């Protein structure tokens, strides 16, 4: 279950952020899919958690949008994480038209529990 934080500059149009919010769950799920956590294309509540926040007055960023993804470490995910994040960057750019953005993919050792 990936956790995704999206930090954006005030100049990014809301329509582009809405489009990003629409495509991120599927694209992130494809990017972190692995044998230990396969993606069947049928996202359920809690499968991908996304939070958006604008840059604050004290924040510093050279990009219009920064997407931070945290997803549980598995050897199969870690083996090709750069290829995964590069492909995700390309897919997001194609889907949204965003140009000035970065993606940080973190694969911590973690556990997740969710009630019914």
Dump pLDDT digits (tens) for 66-84. Answer: 999 999 999 999 999 999 9
In a domain, 113, yes or no: no
* Ramachandran bin of 97, using left for φ above 0, alpha for ψ from -120 to 50, beta for the remaining angles: left
What is the arithmetic mean of pLDDT over 48-53?
96
| Cα 14 to Cα 74: distance, rounded to the nearest angstrom | 35
Q: Using the CB atoms, write b or e for 87-115: b if 16+ within 10 Å.
A: ebbebbeeebebeebebebebeeeeeeee
Range of the domain at 92: 3-106
What is the arithmetic mean of pLDDT over 9-17?
95
Mean pLDDT across the chain: 94
Would the pLDDT of 113 be above 80? no
Would the pLDDT of 116 be above 70? no
pTM of the shown model: 0.92
In a domain, 91, yes or no: yes
| Cα 24 to Cα 83: distance, rounded to the nearest angstrom | 17
What does the pLDDT read at residue 112? Answer: 75
Tokens linked to 90:
């390309």
First CA to last CA distance, the chain? 15
In a domain, 115, yes or no: no
State percent of the chain over pLDDT 90.
88
What does the pLDDT read at residue 102? Answer: 97
CATH number of the CATH domain containing 59: 3.30.429.10
What is the arithmetic mean of pLDDT over 82-104?
96
In a domain, 111, yes or no: no
What does the pLDDT read at residue 45? Answer: 85
In a domain, 112, yes or no: no
* Number of structural domains the chain divides into: 1
């Amino acid at each position: 279950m990936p956790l995704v934080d999206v930090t954006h500059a005030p100049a990014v149009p809301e329509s582009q952020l809405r489009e990003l919010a629409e495509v991120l769950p599927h694209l992130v799920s494809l990017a972190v899919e692995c044998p230990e956590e396969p993606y069947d294309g049928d996202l359920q509540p809690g499968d991908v958690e996304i939070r958006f926040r604008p840059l604050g007055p004290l924040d510093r960023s050279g990009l219009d949008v920064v997407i931070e993804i945290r997803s549980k470490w598995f050897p199969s995910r870690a083996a090709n994480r750069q290829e995964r994040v590069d492909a995700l960057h390309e897919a997001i750019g194609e889907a949204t038209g965003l140009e000035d953005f970065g993606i940080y993919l973190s694969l911590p050792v973690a556990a997740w529990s969710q009630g019914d």
